[in-house]
Structures are given as C-alpha cells and as structure tokens.
Amino acid sequence: MKFKFPENRKKEIFLSLIIILSGNLFGAGMFLWENRNSHVHSLPRKEYGLGSYEKTLTASTSESTAEIQVTVEEQQYSQSQIEEHLKAASEFLTQWFKSNVSSQNILNKDLDFPSQVPDNPAGLSWSTSSPEFLSWKGRLGEDIPSEGVSVNLRCTISIGENETVWEKTIMVTPPSLSEAELFEKAIQQEAENITDEDSQEFLLPSVVQGKEVTYRQTGGQDSWKICLLSLFLGLGIFPLAKERERQAEQKRFLQMQKDYPDIVQKLILFLRAGLSIRMAVEKLAKDYLVRKEEEQNVIRYAYEEIVKTWGEMEGGVYEKEAYERFGRRCGLAEYKALSVLLVQNLKKGNQSILELLEREAVCAGEERLRRARIQGEEASTKLLLPMILQLFVVLIILMVPAFISFF
C-alpha cells in the first residue's frame, strides 16, 4: 500500500522535514568541529599582571582516561624586557615632571601624581620627604613658609621584585592666591586678632587693609520664593475661577435637565385644565416663588428662567419673543425644543401643543431613566476604590497574624 500525504498538509510536512534536517546537519557539524578542536597541545597564558587561571582537561592514554586540572601561570618578562619597561617608566615620569612643574623646579599648586604608565606593566608608588608641605597625594600643606621649602619627591617604579627609584628635588612655595582669596585671608587673620579666645562671638573687622568693610549673610533667603509663589498663586486664580464657572455651569445644566420632565408634565396638566400657555407659564412661576419662599431660597435654575419669562411678558415683551429668549437663556437642547413648541402653539392652538408635549414628556422620561442609570454606574465606580482598599485592609488583618505565628 502506497502512503500518500494529505494535500492540505504537504507544505507543513515539507517545512518540518527541512527544519529537522537542517538542525541535525548543524549539530553534526558542531560535533565534528568540537572533537577536532578538543585536542589541545598548549594553553594560552594571560599577560603579565592579569594573574593565573585553572583549566580542566581530559587526559587519555592507551590504558586509561582521567580528568585533570592544570594551572596556567601568567606571562613573565625577561630581565631585558623588565629593564626596558623600567627605563620607559622613568622617561615618562621625567616628561610628566617637566610639563607640570616650572623650569625653576618651583611648585605652588597641587600635583596629580600618575598611578600608572600607559602601555607599561610597571607599578608606581609615591612619597615625599616633607608630607606636611607636600603630601603623597600631591596636595600642598597650609603652613608653607613664604620663602619656600625644599622637598624631595620620590617615586618607586616596580615590576614584580624588580624596582627602581625616580627622584626630583623641588621648591614648594605657598600657592598663588587671587585678590579675592588674599582679601578673605586678611579678613580671617584680622578677625582672629580682635576676637578673644573666651568670647562667645566671632568678631568681624570693620576696617581691613585701610578699607571699610560691611558684611551680610548669603544663602537661606526665601523672599524670592515667596514672590514666585505669590506670582503662581495670582496667575492660578484665573484658571481656578474659570474651572469654578465651568463646574457651576455644569451643575446648572444637570439641574435643569433633571427638572425638565416635571416642567413638561406640569404644562400638560395646566393645559388640560383649560389654561392657556401664558397662564400656565404664570402658574409655574408663581408656584415656584411660593415654594422658594417656603424652602428658604432654594434655587431651581429652570424655574428661575420661567420667572424671568413671565416677568418679560408682564413687562410688555411679546409672548413669542419671550419664549424664544427663554430657550436661548437655558442653553440646553431640551428647552430650546420646548420654546419652539410654545412658539408653534401661538399659531396652531392648544390641541396641537398637547399632543407634542405628551410626546416630549415620554422622551424626557426615558432620558431621565437613562441619566439615572448612568449616575448609578458612576456612583458604583467611585465606590470601587474604597472597596478595594477595604479588601486590602482585611487581607492584611488576616495574613499578618498568620505570618507572625508561622515564623
């Protein structure tokens, strides 16, 4: 029976065979290369100063095979190479000395002693004959005589047990000071002269080098911070006030949206009772004023606009224009639609407006339910974080005693 590959699997099988074959060929090649290079006759030695290392090898004879460990020491220099490196290091230090010390061998500044020679295995060790005037780190002392002091500078150059000494004699003088540094030193000396040892205060001289001197403390001044803070606070009033206005406007819109279904329902009720639109608006305004007085000036923004509309009509504004102004002042799509319906009523009569208002009441009721669901979801979302924090507190209360008792 002849085997036949499934037509829909040929590509996958072909690719799988290629991967397996390629991997085996690569592994076999690596095996041959490793075997060919596993036979060694020598091991590389590290350069001088890098230390030795250990290598594990498999040693085989005609009779047995054993695993051994050999230590490969670092490279060693011949005596001629050592002398050459020591000589090169001495020449390097001589060149360094010429570039850092004046031609008269006078030193009035700190030195940066080199710790090594480039491309040279030699080690450097520095010392001075008078560390109180010139330390082994190259720093000048504080009590250097004005006429200077002779100091012997020494560097021991070593390679293993072989070493040589490089020496130079220099005249160390006090460091050259700027005018500001000299003035500071004069003030310090004068202050120490006029201040008693048992005094609780350090007196500052009023005259130094024949010149009157005044002093004031530097740093620790926070006046500029106060000015900067007041600037930020002053400029921050504008966005804060704008944000408060936005929040107040948002609060106004939400309240007006909430009151809209009630206003439409009341208008329908008054129209069914036989009142005209003008009389219904007047009734809404008067009822709100009475309720406002009873509830100690609780403001409802939508009813406030109705009161303004009634006042305009009482003041002589045409009813059509008053309704249009009402929609513009409210600024919400619902109230603009209501103002359009009220204007249309002036042309079509109460029967038509009742039908339209009833449809609007149904839409307003559905919109109120939708907003109520949204507010409920927002409230549940806000409660999510406190609930998570409470969960963490409960877990800590339960787990901490358990860990304490375990350990």
pTM: 0.42
234 phi-psi bin (left φ>0, alpha ψ -120 to 50, beta other): alpha
Residues of the chain falling short of pLDDT 50: 1
Contacts of residue 69, Cβ cutoff 8 Å, sequence gap at least 6: 54, 55, 56, 57
pLDDT reported for residue 268: 85
pLDDT reported for residue 41: 66
pLDDT reported for residue 7: 57
For the chain, the straight-line distance linking the first and the last C-alpha, in angstroms and rounded, comes to 70
Chain segment 218-274, per-residue pLDDT in tens: 765 666 677 777 777 777 777 777 888 888 888 888 888 888 888 888 888 888 888
pLDDT reported for residue 1: 47
Half-sphere exposure of 17 (CA within 13 A, CB side): 6
Residue whose token pair is 């004068």 = 190
pLDDT reported for residue 249: 87
Q: How far apart are CA 43 and CA 56, in angstroms?
A: 11
pLDDT reported for residue 137: 84
pLDDT reported for residue 248: 86
